[in-house]
Amino acid sequence: MAPAGAAAAGGSPEGPRARAAVLGRLWSALLREPCPGVAGVEVAGSAARVRLADGRVLAGPALAPFARAGPGLAVRDCGGRRYEDAAALVAALPVPPQRRARFAAELADSAANLADAYAHAPPPPTLAALAALPADAAAVLGEQVAVAGHPLHPGCRTRTGMSRAQVRAYAPEHRPVVPVRWWTVPAGRWWSPTGSPPELPLHPWQAAALVGAYPWLRPTGRVAATRPLMSLRTVAAGDGTHLKLALDVQMTSAVRRVSAAALHNGPLLGALLGGLAGRLPGLRVLAEVGGGAACADGAPVPSLAYLRRVGPRRRPGEVVLPLGSLCADGAAGRPPLAVQAAAAGYGGDPVAFLAALLEVLLPPLVALLHAGVALEAHGQNTLVALAGGRPVRVYYRDFGGVRVSAARLRAAGLEVPPLRGDLWCEDADELRTTLAAAVGVVVGELVAVLGRYAAPQRCWAAVSAALAAAFAGVPGAAADEAAWRAAPLPVKATTAMRLADAPLANQWARMPYGWEGPW
């Protein structure tokens, strides 16, 4: 019996398209990741076979990462069974029943939400239309164009805990206005490293789920009409700032709360990165300037917490977008925003646009890595400002995935901040992997999308040249560059993680290409 979400996706007019998108991500992951239940993978030309641990064999197309998977995509087993649905395929894998049932339900939910988004989400704007909008409206809309979510994770639209109606009411792809109410917290139950007043903004889903269990929370009467950004639980408050809210909903892989460590570390990392960014042209850090948590039993409650950060500031005529929005599908008959930017700024040459983007993006990331800060710079937390289609600066926000080396900071003559939690890392390979895996997904997706409009070999040549130029500008970083070029690009193995006994413990895989192109 198919999971409920799979049936919902099948009932939507966009069900086949959504099922293919999720199945394509899953099948591509099975081909490259160290997934439980998989004994081996064979790729021959355009065909691929996956040998399962119980002796069965699955056969399907040799899908490259970021490949478009159209309706009709199917995987077959050796008994002739045809799988067109990711949840059904996961349910047939030889992994412990509880783990496969959990992941199958997540993928059914992902496909159903994606089908709903394809059917009901408004068409995305053009780059020119974004540039003509008021700054706040353009910033929000630029975050909401990535309807399909994460380009590699089959749980790209998983929102476990939300009904379909709630997803429509709160998810960015549906462009809603979300009423966020503020609640008074008794002074003795409030903790804020930044000295923020004892008032807590709660997402309406979170308030409905939790306020009854904490009767000492009292409404202030203050309600903010907010708009969700790419991450759903972070909203634009309408005053130039963003509120990162706790939300006990699983999106992709994790339930999205705000930890005490995040509240403590945010201002410290913002100060560290802001100081470093001041030396690096083209990089701006969006500082976390407030926040706090309600306390129970003497400890901050991650489900009753928030962060406030500054939003990006654009100059007249600019457009500020998350990198992930550049590759999102355009409206019918229109190319993605990255291709529109190439047309606006580079005479329609996608490779020139890619080279210019990497010239702005890579140098500060490489310099920070050498100095001791590995940013997890992915398509959601890294933004680019475009002026007439030309990249002019990047912004970084959300410090949760950062890794910091005290030894490298000291070697660079920098003060070591008193950070808490798992951000500290003295393993050079882990530092390099943190950055390479995140930015590698951005680069890989850009090459895949722009390579539909220009020769992929030219795109990869631009990537390799940009990387060489970035490292050439950082004396002493030769070991980092050599390590990056010595192996295919790393990527987080999100499907293997979801099928594992510890589904949040990081695992890694390798892409079929490096910084120079196919490996």
pLDDT score of 497: 96
Encode burial over 169-192: b for 16+ CB neighbours within 10 A, e otherwise: bbbbbbebebebbbbbbeeebbbb
Helix (H, G, I), strand (E, B) or coil at 386: strand
8 Å CB contact between 190 and 198 = yes
Amino acid 330: pLDDT: 78
Q: How far, in Å, CA of 463 to CA of 471, rounded?
A: 12
Cα 289 to Cα 175, 285, 397, 398: the distances in Å are: 26, 12, 12, 12
Judging by DSSP bridges, how do beta strands 47-52 and 57-61 pair with one another? antiparallel
Length of the chain: 519
Report the CATH fold assignment for 318-518: Transferase(Phosphotransferase); domain 1 (1.10.510)
In DSSP terms, which residues pair with 250 in a beta bridge?
160, 255
Q: Which residues of the chain have pLDDT under 50?
A: 1-2
Q: What was the pLDDT predicted at 1? A: 43
Q: What is the pLDDT of residue 12?
A: 74
C-beta separation of 261 from 284 below 8 A: no
pLDDT of residue 7: 56
pLDDT of residue 3: 57
Q: Around 92, how many Cα atoms within 13 Å sit in the side-chain half-sphere?
A: 21
Return the domain boundaries, the chain: 4-120, 171-249+257-310, 318-518
DSSP code, position 133: S
318-322/382-387 β-pairing: antiparallel
> What is the rounded distance in angstroms from the CA atom of residue 193 to the CA atom of residue 306?
12
What is the pLDDT, as a whole number, of residue 9? Answer: 64
